[in-house]
Chains A and B, each alone.
Chain A
Amino acid sequence: MAASSILPWRYRIGGLALTAVVTLILVYLILPQFIVLPLSFSDKSYLSFPPTGWSSQWYVKIAENLSWAEATANSLIIGIPAALLSMIFGTLAALSLKRGAWKGAGVMSAAVVAPTMLPHVILAIGLYPMMIKFGLLGTHLAAIIGHTIIGIPLVFITVTAVLASQNGALELAAMTLGATPWQTFWRVTFPMIRIGVFIGGILAFAASFDELMLSLFLTGAGTRTLPKLIWEQLNEFLTPTIAAVATLIFAFTLVLLVIASFLQAVGSRNQVTANG
């Protein structure tokens, strides 16, 4: 580290240039937040930036227009069950693939993760005729099913990461000492992977809360989600109302992010104490 002080000046200029470039890229990364936030308090009805005056009229408009509340409710009605189902199926898949001594575990993991990697439009046009056949098109359940499929990989990844740091000796010990598989799971395995399951669940909820393509195909007038409503509004007219909605959503996801990183910190602290 002390080497930097004895470096020739041209290397230090190189370092400064690198810092400047990286700073610019980081500004680019957070720029959208700094556009949307001031815009949501703008006093003009069209998009002008920077705003000439301040007003909270767009937030009042959101409160007055019932469709925003309805869409938020739909997003929660779909997102919470989808996250819970993802937690169940994702955890089961992770446990089975990590501890099941499967021969093709690598290929199977790749298959479980595939739904997040493949373009959502393919799954959407595949599920659409299926949901018509089941008579579920336009119901909350149709969207819950679709969002569960893209949530499972997220839980699977986080739980697999936790399981990879433990070798299964504790479960083996519990079962050798006469615990049933059910007891072993609730008393030994679940406490170890709990935090991974919850973080995965938050990720799955966030993914559902932001998902547009499946909602475009699977939800109807009464079940449309928040991203779908924003999408419909964006295609019709641009007003700062969207910016106000965006700011509220951002505040909400920031809370989720803080919870997730808090859980992660707790998880890594537990691991440190467990390892000695």
Chain B
Amino acid sequence: MAQMNPRQDGARKSSSWSAADFNRLLAIPPGAVLALFFLVPIFGVIWRSFSDPAIGLLNYRRLFTDGPYLQSLWLTITTALMVTVLCLVTAYPVAYVMARARTSIQQLIGALVVIPLWTSVVIRSYAWMVVFQRRGILNQALTSTGLVDTPVNFIPGSIAVYVGMVHIMLPFMILPLVANMRSIDGRLLAAAGVLGATPAQAFLRIFLPLSLPGVLAGSALVFMMSLGFYITPALLGGPRHMMAAVLIEEQANRQLDWGLASALATVLLVLTVAVYSVYVRLSNRVEGGLAHGR
């Protein structure tokens, strides 16, 4: 490691001037920007949650004793969990087929997974409004087939929120799963088959356990991102499915209760950072596992 004592001989020659030293200086501009416009605002929110309108735990006392706020936080967590489970169940077969398919099929599925990622979340939620509204496609289908007599009010409601959120989160589950499944050696399954395992046994005993790192990384990512959802629950869930981000926006922008909004945001921040640190560790392990396997 030449860069350990870079300035010892003090010469101006380039060989003594370590490249690593120069590269460390490069961190100053992005570090300053992120500190000023990311860390300072975030700490500002935390500070405000303890100081607005008066210094103390007033906002948190309201948050954890008043029914609606606690209810909203709980709903946020259960919704994120539900979305994660639904995403996992729908993403797994897609990733399985994609990881083992021919290249052309792989590219087709890949395109179908990536295109929604490039479509505005507002617009996708709007499309689900068209599907779920009172005179929408779903209600037309339900009434014309005689399954229901009168149109169902899906909006505002939880079903519409789940369908819309899973749609947005699905690519974030499929992509880590595919990355992990591609690294699973197909010869292991072939060997199991030769040794007499049925495909179901080979899948359950070999493929499924080996895919767990991808499952964990994808689930942590989806759960974390679901916690902060705003657009979909605000459009499709309304007051019946008030998730934390919607409540924060409402408290700040409409009720002008910045202290409470900041306290809610701080709780959401703590939750997200906790899941994020788990995710970072998990995805490092997936990458590390891949590197050691080769």
Contacts and interface: CB of A to CB of B under 8 A. Distances in A.
A135 interface: no
A37 to B, nearest CB: 10
Interface in A111-135: 111-112, 114-115, 117-130
Interface in A217-253: 217, 227, 230-231, 234, 238, 242-243, 246, 249-250, 253
Contacts of B27: 92-93, 96-97, 100, 108
Contacts of A111: 34
A126 B14 contact: no
A121 B135 contact: no
Contacts of B20: 99-101
B78 interface: no
Interface residues of A, number: 92
B38 A123 contact: yes
| Interface-centre pick from B1, B116, B118, B277 (highest chain A CB count, 10 A) | B118
Contacts of A112: 30, 34
Contacts of B235: 234
A54 interface: no
B94 interface: yes
A121 B26 contact: no
Nearest to B41: A126
Nearest to B224: A117
Nearest to A35: B127
Given A100-B24, A210-B120, A253-B118, A93 B30 contact: yes
B113 interface: yes
A120 B45 CA distance: 13
B122 A121 contact: no
B15 interface: yes
B112 to A, nearest CB: 5
B206 interface: no
B236 to A, nearest CB: 11
A243 B116 CA distance: 16
Given A35-B131, A121-B248, A216-B249, A92 B97 contact: no
Nearest to A102: B24
Nearest to A111: B34
B286 interface: no
Contacts of A119: 227-230, 244-245, 265, 268-269, 272
Given A19-B97, A234-B235, A117 B276 contact: yes
Contacts of B94: 22, 25-26
Contacts of A253: 118-120
Q: How many B residues are at the interface, by size bracket?
A: 35 or more
B114 A257 contact: yes
Given A35-B127, A118-B272, A148 B33 contact: yes
Given A100-B26, A117-B272, A234-B126, A47 B135 contact: yes
A89 B30 contact: yes
B182 to A, nearest CB: 16
| Interface-centre pick from A100, A149, A210, A242 (highest chain B CB count, 10 A) | A100
B136 interface: yes
Contacts of A108: 27
B115 A33 contact: yes
Contact of A125 (B115, B258, B280): B258
Nearest to B272: A118
A166 interface: no
B191 interface: no
Nearest to B252: A125
B72 interface: no
A115 B272 CA distance: 11
Contacts of A32: 116, 119, 123-124, 127-128, 167
B184 interface: no
Given A28-B167, A121-B265, 13 more contacts: A29-B112, A29-B171, A36-B126, A47-B130, A47-B135, A122-B268, A126-B40, A129-B44, A130-B40, A148-B37, A172-B19, A230-B122, A246-B127
23 contacts: A14-B199, A21-B93, A25-B90, A25-B170, A26-B94, A28-B90, A39-B130, A47-B130, A48-B135, A49-B136, A93-B26, A102-B24, A106-B284, A112-B30, A119-B229, A119-B245, A130-B40, A175-B14, A209-B120, A210-B120, A213-B230, A230-B126, A253-B119
Interface of A: 3, 7, 11, 14, 18-19, 21-22, 25-26, 28-33, 35-36, 39, 46-49, 88-90, 92-93, 95-97, 99-102, 106, 108, 110-112, 114-115, 117-130, 145-146, 148-149, 152, 168, 171-172, 175-176, 178-181, 184, 206, 209-210, 212-213, 216-217, 227, 230-231, 234, 238, 242-243, 246, 249-250, 253-254, 256-257
Q: Closest 8 interchain pairs by CB?
A: A119-B228, A126-B41, A32-B127, A96-B27, A93-B30, A96-B26, A100-B23, A89-B30
